[in-house]
Amino acid sequence: MDDRNLTIGDIAEELGVSKTTVSRAISGKGRIGEQTRKRVLAYIEEHHYSPNVVAKGLAQNKTFNLGLVLPWDYNIVELPFFQNCMLGISRAASSHGYDVLISMVTPEDITQLKRAVTNRKIDGAILTRTLTDDAPMKYLKENGVPFVAIGSTDDDMAVQIDNDHRSACRELTDKLLERGVKKIALIGGDESYIVTRSRLSGFEDAFTGRKEWNGTKLTFLNIKNSHEVDQIVEKLLAEQVECIVSMDDFLCVCVLNALQQRQIAVPRQIQVASFYDSSMLKYRIPSISSVRFNVEELGHRACELLLRLLDEEEVEKRTLLGYEMCIKESAK
């Protein structure tokens, strides 16, 4: 028989042992005599046997699939983030012989994730968004499925990895205040997202201890569309705000469009800054001051953490990655 076509059944018949014994020898798990294990492994090595993924999975009780949990309700600004994150995850998974299975969820409907877990299609999962009341996370914990959360969570027992949004927003705000800004506004999205809360905390941190600063700061959260941004910009111009910081690049584009419609020059008449230096702002004139994150690395590191969990290794509960401050023309 061609060695390339060998099956576990063929090996078992040739050596006069059971298929279970061969599987245990391959996986290294289960009760089997050491002499028998060596005999099976020697035969496998001699005949260059390589179990296929299905056979290997059965032997090790693994699917070699990782679940990637994505939100159904993502908006256009989040698309580059998820794309780059998926790229990092897929590359890390592939390098370890794993495939990625996507489950789309909403805060109210996690049916796809439940189906993947119930049908034993995944060995573990990566969450790409964290909420204050996180249904996917609760479900995975209740069912004992290993997972890593991309983003921060108040659950100290969850393995989580994120960029340091709080420090980044504090440093960006610090730099703006150091340039003499006395009236500053922050515009953000959904307050139920942990990332929104982290960036808000960083913004507030920048004012802690600044007793000499006697300016005005304004905050607008849960902003969903360009119409709302337009109304806010109208109000901020009336109050002679000197700088507008947007929590994401979609909101920043809306701010820039609203200013352009009113023929307000950036940065001569008002300064603008944003998160997180995505392709949406790449060709803007003037160039937009922002904070840059390596999202592909974030996805890659998240996948590596999950794979270590699956190997039953001890991993750090909370990992914070850095950022790059990019002060450009829009805030000078």
CA–CA dist 90, 127 (Å, integer): 14
According to the model, what pLDDT value does residue 46 have? Answer: 81
CA dihedral 288, 294, 299, 305 (to 10 degrees): -140
Q: What is the DSSP letter of 292?
A: E
Taking residues 166-171, report their average pLDDT.
96
Q: How many CB atoms lie within 10 A of CB 42?
A: 12
CATH, residue 150: 3.40.50.2300
Q: Is 98 helix (H, G, I), strand (E, B) or coil?
A: coil
Taking residues 298-309, report their average pLDDT.
96
The total domain count for the chain is 3
According to the model, what pLDDT value does residue 62 have? Answer: 80
Confidence class of residue 328 from pLDDT cuts 50, 70 and 90? very high
Pair 10, 44 in one domain = yes
Q: Tokens for 191, please give them.
A: 């307050």
The pLDDT tens digits of the residues spanning 106-144 come to: 888 999 999 999 988 999 999 998 877 789 999 999 999
Q: What residues contact 164, with CB distance under 8 A and at least 6 apart?
A: 320, 321, 322, 323
Confidence class of residue 52 from pLDDT cuts 50, 70 and 90? low
The pLDDT tens digits of the residues spanning 202-229 come to: 999 999 978 788 899 999 999 989 999 9
CB contact at 8 A, 224 and 193: no
- The answer to whether residue 1 scores a pLDDT higher than 80 is no
Pair 196, 265 in one domain = yes
Residue 65 bridge partners (DSSP): 99
* Strands 159-163, 318-321: pairing kind: parallel
Pair 240, 301 in one domain = no
Which residue from 188, 175, 181 is spatially nearest to 327, judged by alpha carbons? 175
Pair 180, 288 in one domain = yes
- The answer to whether residue 27 scores a pLDDT higher than 80 is no
Which residue from 77, 300, 48 is spatially nearest to 195, judged by alpha carbons? 77
Domain boundary among 60, 80, 105: 60
Pair 221, 277 in one domain = yes
Pair 184, 264 in one domain = yes
b vs e for 77-110, b when ≥16 Cβ sit within 10 Å of the residue's Cβ? bbeebbebbbebbbebbeeeebebbebbbebeeb
Q: Is 296 helix (H, G, I), strand (E, B) or coil?
A: helix
Q: What is the DSSP letter of 209?
A: T
